[in-house]
Amino acid sequence: MTHDRAAALAAIAEQVRACRLCRLYERATRPVPGAGSPQAEIMFIGEGPGYHEDQQGLPFVGRSGEYLNYLLKLIGLTRDVVFIANVVKHRPPDNRDPFPDEILACKPYLDQQIAIIDPLVIVTLGRFSMARYFPNGKISQIHGQPRYDDGRAYYPLFHPAAALRAPELRRDMEADIRRLPEVLAEVKRRRAAGQNQAQRDSIDEPPAGPPKQLSLF
């Protein structure tokens, strides 16, 4: 299973490497498909590679990445137990925002990564990944408020770069990340409750087959 997921993720990385579906590859040095554990319970989704990510082919390895490492450490996690990806897999020139057609072109890769990893919690970092799950959300209003849906939590956070630029956001950012273990535990509780209910329902169900005719004699 582990091997299957790793192989499937590697196949996507290979498709990303050869991708010409939008213009971003033209000026990029390396593709940045994403990195981390194929078994991750938590997946982080950022915006797009910056300078350092483009140089190394890895997500969140610049200043934002250092801060993300720090945030993970606050809750006892390291990058290798989570999965980190972006909505676009090649660097937008000069770190401009990705255009809607670029996000759309790249969407199937991210969709497939999510389907393969099947994380319990998706943490969105910043507004571009937030928009996938909270299309009308305003990050300043909804950050740190999980939505539980179909056995998964969607947890919108500020982008680490925003917290680095505006130190007044850091307290919120750090309080939000400290609640992540609770969000994960809640997803597990809900899944377990759902399974118990399904078991009870199957016990309550009448046995299959035609009802037996009671003999009157």
Minimum distance, C-beta of residue 101 to ligand URA, in the bound complex (Å): 18
Residues near ligand URA (CB under 6 A) are 46-50, 53, 59-60, 64, 86, 161
Q: Which is nearer to ligand URA, 121 or 187 (CB)?
A: 121
State residue 73 phi and psi, 5-degree precision: -65, -35
Minimum distance, C-beta of residue 12 to ligand URA, in the bound complex (Å): 16
| Per-residue b or e along 87-96, where b marks 16 or more CB atoms closer than 10 Å to that residue's CB | bbbbbbeeee
Minimum distance, C-beta of residue 32 to ligand URA, in the bound complex (Å): 6
Q: Which is nearer to ligand URA, 46 or 119 (CB)?
A: 46
The residue with its CB nearest to ligand URA is 46
Beta bridge partners of 124: 45, 156
Q: Which is nearer to ligand URA, 45 or 187 (CB)?
A: 45
Is 102 buried (19+), middle (13-18) or exposed (0-12) by CB count in 10 A? buried
**Residues 163-168: contacts with CB within 8 Å, 24+ apart?**
163/67, 164/63, 164/64, 164/67
Minimum distance, C-beta of residue 129 to ligand URA, in the bound complex (Å): 8
Q: Which is nearer to ligand URA, 180 or 187 (CB)?
A: 180
Q: 């037996």: which residue's tokens?
A: 212
